Structure 1
Amino acid sequence: MPLENGDVQGDLEMEVVCELKRASFWTQQLIKSEGDAFELYVDANGSSALKFNGPGKILRKLVRMHVLSDKRFGELYRFEPYIDLIVRHIADAGLQYTYLSYTRAVLNGDAKLLVELFNGCVDKIRQEAKCKQFQSALNSYQRSGNKNYKELTEYVDTLFERYSRLLVLRVDLGYRKEFSKTTQAEAKKDREHLFQNTRSNKLFGDMVGYIWKLEHGSDKGFHYHMMFFFDGSKVREDGTLAKLIGEYWKTTITKGRGVYYNCNADKSRYKSCGIGMVDHWNNPMRDSLGKAVLYLTKIDLYMKLQTEGRGMGKMLSPDPKGARGRPRAVSPPRECMA
């Protein structure tokens, strides 16, 4: 996809999320499987080979997954317990794809010991998955991920209780490639600077809410997925407004170090578009907006960025409908955890 103004899109694209989802699914299937994963096969010439049973074929799928072997993910992210389980045991067993290749089934060295090692790896995975400590960690992780999505959807619903129409902007804010080493602390400082300036900059005069999510890409470094909510009765032209916010980040907040991606500039590419003007009573658009919010939290279902402090946040909910206009204070809009 072409990038606008040196724009940045999240490095954790949906294909990565899908691969993580598959890794979690196949790990669960491996845990449920029974019997030996591998057997020793000796042909008429006395050569030893690896025979793949059902669990062995599943393990082979997992060993082939790039995201599980990429150490950059492990250094910055905390995997979902199922994925963490398979990553640890594959590493402990020293498993490599070449060992489990159908085209290289003949094993070097002591084939019998290798089969025992591989079967032992699968048995250890099954055993750990049944222990109370693992189940507790799994329940805790899943509650956390679901809690974030629930809080954000409730936040959006609260905005619609106050405003009949919302102009929803989706902008990714990051750094140029030569500044991809920007630290998490520096990125946080830039984000706080941006939100602090919303009180004095007319560009944000009709903003009624926002959601932010910090992510990291191996090439792009730290970047933010942002959703801005404006009073739809007062502003229009979402693509233009999103571009102005992106340019403000690029030129003023980051002093030329930043880049952005304006999702509103090409809404037609989205199969289910939940950005732009969204009416309170437009259920299809509201549903699509829910999916856009889900996208912000979806990666957390399988892999969470290890952040210094908060990795996600939102502006406080607005006053109930009928309250007087939003006060124009000197201090920036207060945030709460998402």
Structure 2
Amino acid sequence: MINTANSNFASKTIMKRLLDDHSEITLISGDIEQLHTTYSYKNYHVELILKICLFVQGCNQNDEAAAIKIVDEYLGRLHYSDWFRPFISHFDDMMKFELSDCSEFQLCEEINCFLRARQFLDTNYSLYGIFGIKRPVNTIYLEGKIGPLNKLVYLVRKEMNNKQAKLAIRQRQKNCNKNFISCRKLVNGLFNVNSKLLVLPINFGFKPNPEILTRTHRPSDLRDTFHSKYYLENLKDLLAQFLRNKRHNKTLQSIEGYILKFEHSVKKGFHLNAIFFLNGDKHHKDGDFTTELTKYWYQLTNGNGCTYNCHMAKDKYRAICMGIIDYTDNAKRDALDDCVKYFCKKEQYFMFNKLNRVRTLQMSQPPQRRSNVGRPRKGVKTINTPLLNDRNKGDSNVD
């Protein structure tokens, strides 16, 4: 799969953001009153799915076995490879994972490889009773644990090197790269005509039932009408109206560019993840513009809408770039680049079935380049980093 250290780090970073999905929900009552509440939103089984993905990638990127040897024949303690250690405490949960628990989702090829390898292992294997052990254990018993564990790793590697798996992963990476290149062209184009950009991430959704926000999620939650295709179609219609109104609405006219992504989660339901770009010389406070957008969305949805505002919980989003970015600020532009990568890669590990065949990623056209008359800029940075180790460059179309 991904064979570079940088790509592995990027995958872990993106997965961590998926697990730490914090944001502020803004509900408006009337024209003025706003309610800000912080929740932690986590999709059903997402944490386990992503840990399995990381385990499979770890198997594929390392040659060592998971359990190397018995360290002490008398005490019977095992020595694990460094790459496997992060998965020890979660391993038994991964082995209990059932595909039926995620029947509402399209899962990535890594999950399919793991499930096939586990099936070929043909044993109800677990690490229970051996990791973190602090007492003498029969050596023969431990040898019986080492064999199946290392066999599972071998089977995962075999499945990942299967021609069908390689083709599926390669196609997924190609689609991600294609989208990222288009987004990167937009961002670079905006910096070509603006000395500063105000970067504003915000999610548009529908008011959830308060019970959904507070209860522990269950598989049956996805059968609630809140997750029906009606809400998805309604969201698509509202987005089309939002973009049409941009021509005449003074607030929306301030938007220089945008990247939009249709997404879904158990707590939020169908929602639109957006990054807006404004002229940083004219707009300085992200909070003010977010409030205006929230009020507008509330009116557009006839009072049924809400927004999830990342800027109100910036301490939880340090890796995600927002606010004013100067065209010479390489560090912030790198962070913005990482944010765009996250946008393009997020759904590659799983997707809610109802989003299948939906053009989930949309964006504005890059602005026209201005005349080169005048003093040239100094310290201009253009982001050219590929999303993965794909060599395709220059295609700006979006799936």
Q: Same fold (TM over 0.5)?
A: yes
Question: How far apart are 1:76 and its partner, in Å?
Answer: 2.8
Deviations 1:154-193 (A, max 9, x none): 2101111122222221111111113733532222112212
Match of 2:251 among 203, 221, 227: 203
1:321 corresponds to 2:370:
yes
- Tell me, yes or no, if structure 1 residue 75 matches structure 2 residue 104: yes
Q: Which residue of 2 aligns with 1:259?
A: 306
| Distance change in 2, residues 1:282/1:177 (3 Å) | same
Q: Which residue matches 1:275?
A: 322
- Give the match for residue 222 of structure 2: none
Distance in 2 between the 1:72 and 1:192 partners? 34
Question: Residues 43-192 of structure 1 correspond to what in structure 2 (within 5 A)?
Answer: 61-65=90-94, 69=98, 73-79=102-108, 81-90=109-118, 99-102=126-129, 124-178=155-209, 180-183=226-229, 184-192=232-240
Paired with 1:189 and 1:93, the residues of 2 have a C-alpha distance of 48
The CA deviation string for residues 76-110 of structure 1, in whole angstroms up to 9 with x for no partner, is 3332x22331145447878778x552279xxxxxx
Q: Counterpart of 1:125 in structure 2: which amino acid?
A: V
The answer as to whether partners of 2:107 and 2:350 remain within 8 angstroms in 1 is yes
Q: Retained in 1: the 8 A contact 2:310–2:317? A: no
Distance 1:12 1:209, change over 3 A: farther
Offset, 1:239? 1.0
8 Å CA contact 1:316–1:336 kept in 2: the answer is no
* SS of the residue 1:319 aligns to: coil
Structure 2 match to 1:241: 289
Structure 2 counterpart of 1:314, one-letter code:
M
How has the CA–CA distance of structure 1 residues 52 and 135 changed in structure 2, closer, same or farther, with 3 Å as cutoff?
farther
Cα pair 2:198 2:284 within 8 Å, conserved: yes
Q: Which moved more, 1:188-197 or 1:172-181?
A: 172-181
Q: Give the TM-score normalised by the residue count of structure 2.
A: 0.62
Distance 1:239 1:88 in 2: 48
One-letter code of the match for 1:321? R
What letter matches 2:25 in structure 1? L
The DSSP-based 3-state class of the residue aligned with 1:180 is: helix
- Whether the 8 Å contact between 2:319 and 2:335 is mirrored in structure 1 is yes
The normalised TM-score by structure 1 is: 0.71
Pairing of 1:216-227 with structure 2 (within 5 A): 216-227=264-275
Equivalent pairs counted in the alignment come to 307
Please report how far the alpha carbon of residue 71 of structure 1 lies from its aligned counterpart in structure 2 after TM superposition.
Answer: 5.2
Q: 1:67 to 1:119 in 2, by over 3 A?
A: closer
- Decide whether the 8 Å contact of 2:117 with 2:159 is kept in 1: no
Q: Does the CA contact (< 8 Å) of 1:314 and 1:336 recur in 2?
A: no
Structure 1 residue ranges without an equivalent (≥5)? 38-50, 105-113, 324-334
Match of 1:230 in 2: 278
Amino acid at match of 1:206: S
| Structure 1 residues 311 and 103: CA distance shift in structure 2, 3 A | same
> C-alpha distance in 1, partners of 2:321/2:119?
41
What secondary structure sits across from 1:200 in the alignment? coil
Q: How far apart, in 2, do the equivalents of 1:66 and 1:188 lie?
A: 38
Partner Cα distance (1:284, 1:293) in 2 = 14
Distance 1:212 1:73 in 2: 26
Q: Aligned partners of 2:169 and 2:160: how far apart in 1?
A: 10
Identical residues among aligned pairs (%)? 24
**Structure 1 residues 124 and 223: alpha-carbon distance in aligned structure 2, compared to 1, 3 A threshold:** same
Q: Distance in 2 between matches of 1:278 and 1:35?
A: 46
Hey, what does 2:212 align to over in structure 1? none
Distance 1:304 1:73 in 2: 10
Letter in 2 for 1:297: C
Residue 142 of structure 1: SS of its match in structure 2? helix
Alpha-carbon distance in structure 2 between the residues aligned to 1:67 and 1:171:
36
Aligned to 2:8: none
Q: Are the counterparts in 2 of residues 246 and 262 from structure 1 also a CA contact under 8 Å?
A: no
Deviation at 1:124, TM superposition (A): 4.5
Q: Deviations over 1:259-312 (max 9, x none)?
A: 102223454554256222222222232223223323323423533454332011
5+ residue gaps, structure 2: 1-21, 28-34, 68-76, 132-144, 210-224, 373-395
Q: Secondary structure at the match of 2:26?
A: coil
> What residue number does 2:134 align with?
none
**CA drift at 1:320:** 1.6
Q: Is the 8 A contact 2:284 2:324 kept in 1?
A: yes
Contact 1:208 1:229 in 2 (8 A): yes
Matched-pair contact (CA < 8 Å) for 1:26–1:62: no
2:339 to 292, 295, 298: 292
Pick closer, same or farther for the CA change 1:182–1:68 going to 2, 3 Å.
same
Change (3 A) 1:262 1:158: same
The residue type equivalent to 1:189 in the other structure is: D
| Partner SS state of residue 3, structure 1 | strand
Cross-structure match for 2:384: none
